C-alpha cells in the first residue's frame, strides 16, 4: 500500500497570526504538510522561508472559473515546490466537448509542469453530478480526482446506511482518487462537527477513504483535512445561533483516526 501523507488546510488553523506561527501549529499537531492556494510571486519568498522553518510538505488547491487560464496556477504551484495541485473547476452547464477540452488542458499542464493534478469532486462545479463525473473519468483514463465526498452526500442527502447503488457509484469514484479531502457530514450540511456525525455515517466515509487509498497505485497517497471556518460561511450553529463545534479540534481528531490505521 502507498505511503500516507496527511495535510491540513491552512484555512482551518485558528487565529490570524503570522504564517510561521500557523504552520508551526500544524506541524506540532502531527500533520505531514499544509494545503493552501499557491502563493503569488510577491509572497513566494516569505512563504518558502516559513515553510522551510516548519519542516512541512505543501500541496496546492485552487478554484478555476470557466474563463480563467489554468496555467498561472500550475506555474505558481511548481515554483512553490508543491507536491500536487487540486482544483474545483467551474463548467457544469457546459457541454461535453467543452468539459473534455478543459480536462485535456489540465492534464497537459500537469504533464508539462511535472505536477500531479487532482480534479476535486465539488457541488456547483464541473463535477456536480455523480453520473457525469463517472462518465468524465471513463472518457479520460488519466484523470485523477480529489475526492471531497461531503459534497455528494449532502447533495444526495445520504444517511447511513447508504443505498447500495449510491454507495457503489461513490466507491467507483473513490478508486479514481489520488487525494481525499477528509470531511464528514450527516447528509444535510456539507460540513458537520465530528461529534454530531454518528458512527455509522462516519463509517461510510471511512470506507470510501479506505477504498481510495487501497486502489491508488502511486507511492504516496494524500489525505487533507479540509474543515473550513465560519469566516467563509462554513459555520454550524444551534437553534439560538450559537457556534457549535471546533474545526481545529475536529481536524486533529480526524488525523488521529487516519494515522491510527482506521484509514
CATH number at residue 197: 3.20.20.150
Question: Alpha carbon of 57 to those of 4, 6, 52, 54, 100: distances in Å?
Answer: 13, 9, 9, 9, 32
Distance CA 223, CA 213 (A): 9
What does 73-140 look like in DSSP terms, one character per residue?
HHHHHHHTT-S-EEEEE--TTS-HHHHHHHHHHHHHHHHHHT--EEEE--TTSTT-SHHHHHHHHHH-
- Residue 45 host element (H or E): helix 44-54
Q: Total domain count for the chain? A: 1
- Residue 122, domain extent: 3-262
The predicted-structure confidence for 89-136, as pLDDT tens digits, reads as follows: 999 999 999 999 999 999 999 999 999 999 999 999 999 999 999 999
How does pLDDT run across 243-257, given as a tens digit for each residue? 667 899 999 999 999
Residues 5-55: pLDDT tens digits? 999 999 999 877 899 999 999 999 999 999 999 999 999 999 999 999 999
Report whether 87 contacts 62 (CB < 8 A).
yes
Give the Cα separation of 11 and 35 in Å (integer): 9
Amino acid at each position: 500500500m502507498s505511503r500516507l501523507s496527511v495535510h491540513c488546510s491552512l484555512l482551518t488553523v485558528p487565529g490570524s497570526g503570522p504564517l510561521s506561527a500557523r504552520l508551526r501549529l500544524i506541524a506540532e499537531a502531527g500533520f505531514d504538510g499544509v494545503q493552501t492556494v499557491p502563493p503569488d510571486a510577491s509572497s513566494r519568498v516569505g512563504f518558502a522561508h516559513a515553510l522551510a522553518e516548519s519542516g512541512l510538505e505543501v500541496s496546492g488547491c485552487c478554484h478555476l472559473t470557466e474563463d480563467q487560464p489554468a496555467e498561472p496556477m500550475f506555474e505558481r504551484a511548481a515554483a512553490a515546490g508543491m507536491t500536487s495541485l487540486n482544483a474545483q473547476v467551474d463548467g457544469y452547464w457546459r457541454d461535453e466537448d467543452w468539459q473534455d477540452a478543459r480536462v485535456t488542458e489540465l492534464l497537459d499542464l500537469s504533464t508539462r509542469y511535472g505536477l500531479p493534478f487532482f480534479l476535486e469532486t465539488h457541488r456547483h462545479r464541473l463535477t456536480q453530478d455523480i453520473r457525469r463525473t463517472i462518465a468524465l473519468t471513463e472518457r479520460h483514463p488519466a484523470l485523477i480526482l480529489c475526492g471531497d465526498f461531503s459534497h455528494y452526500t449532502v447533495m444526495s442527502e445520504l444517511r447511513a446506511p447508504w443505498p447500495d447503488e449510491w454507495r457503489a457509484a461513490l466507491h467507483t469514484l473513490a478508486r479514481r482518487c489520488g487525494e481525499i479531502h477528509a470531511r464528514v457530514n450527516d447528509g444535510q450540511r456539507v460540513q458537520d462537527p465530528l461529534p454530531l456525525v454518528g458512527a455509522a455515517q462516519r463509517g461510510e466515509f471511512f470506507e470510501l477513504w479506505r477504498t481510495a487509498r487501497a486502489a491508488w497505485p502511486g507511492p504516496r497517497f494524500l489525505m487533507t483535512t479540509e474543515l473550513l471556518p465560519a469566516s467563509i460561511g462554513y459555520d454550524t450553529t444551534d437553534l439560538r445561533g450559537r457556534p457549535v463545534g471546533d474545526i481545529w479540534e475536529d481536524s486533529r481528531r480526524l488525523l488521529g483516526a487516519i494515522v491510527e490505521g482506521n484509514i
